[in-house]
Amino acid sequence: MGMDLKKILLVEDSPNDAELTLEALKTARLANEVIWLKDGQEALDFLFCRDAYAGREKVNPVLILLDIKMPRVDGLQVLKQIKEDARLRSIPVVILTSSREEVDLLEGYNHGVNAFVVKPVNFNEFLHSVSALGTFWALLNEAPPITI
């Protein structure tokens, strides 16, 4: 298992948010490759190696950063399917959302999310939060075995 295999999955429908998040991850100086998926459906396709991702490397990401409000399949549904699947269950999932709603928080934790982070409006705080997340989950945290 080489370092190049430790991928971070970013599931985010807004290109602006994706760009800012990628920028923020960059400041954490992580070596991990970040894969950007544009909605929940694409994320599920990737995770379950379907359609466009049928032939991808059979390796799980080290971290999934998941937005909630997305077209087609939303973040909570993705989370539910991940946590219900025996092979995907161990992947750390962090919800990264602009919603402060209690319902989302509760549902997230009920479905077994590993962390729930509200995107701060202030960019410096956002930068700090995202890079801290990346550092913790991709560097400090001992990742689960990653082969499918």
Partner 1 sequence: MKIRTSLRITSTISILMMLGSTVGTFFAFKWLRQASAFELQLIDLQGDVFERTLLRDEYLLMARPQSLVRWKQKSLEIAGHLKDLSGRSLSPSSALLLDRMNQKFQATWALLPRIAALRSSNEGGESGKGSTWRIEQRLTNQLLVDTYLLSDSTKLLLLEARRDSIDERNNLLLLLALSTLALGLTVTSASTHLNHLLSRRVAVLKTWTYSISNGKLDYRIPLGGDDELADLAREVNDLAEKLQRTYESLEATNRELEAFSYSVSHDLRAPLRHLTGFVELLWRMDLSSLDVKSQHYLTVISDSAKKMGCLIDDLLSFSRMGRGEMMKRNVNMGQLVHEVIAEHAKDLPSGRFIDWRIGTLPTVVGDQAMLRLVLTNLVSNAVKYSRQVAAPIIEISASTDETHHVLCVRDNGAGFDMRFVDKLFVLFQRLHSSEEYEGTGVGLANVRRIITRHGGRTWAEGEPNIGATFYFTLPQGPEG
Interface positions with partner 1 (CB under 8 A): 14, 16-17, 20, 23, 68-69, 97-101, 119-124, 126-127
In eight-state DSSP terms, residue 29 is T
The full length of the chain comes to 148
Nearer to partner 1, 16 or 86 (CB): 16
Q: Token pair 């075995």 is at which residue?
A: 145
Closest approach, Cβ 99 to partner 1, in A, equals: 5
Closest approach, Cβ 132 to partner 1, in A, equals: 17
Closest approach, Cβ 35 to partner 1, in A, equals: 21
Residue 87: CB atoms within 10 Å = 13
Nearer to partner 1, 20 or 115 (CB): 20
Query: Identity (one letter) of the amino acid at 143?
Result: A
In eight-state DSSP terms, residue 39 is S
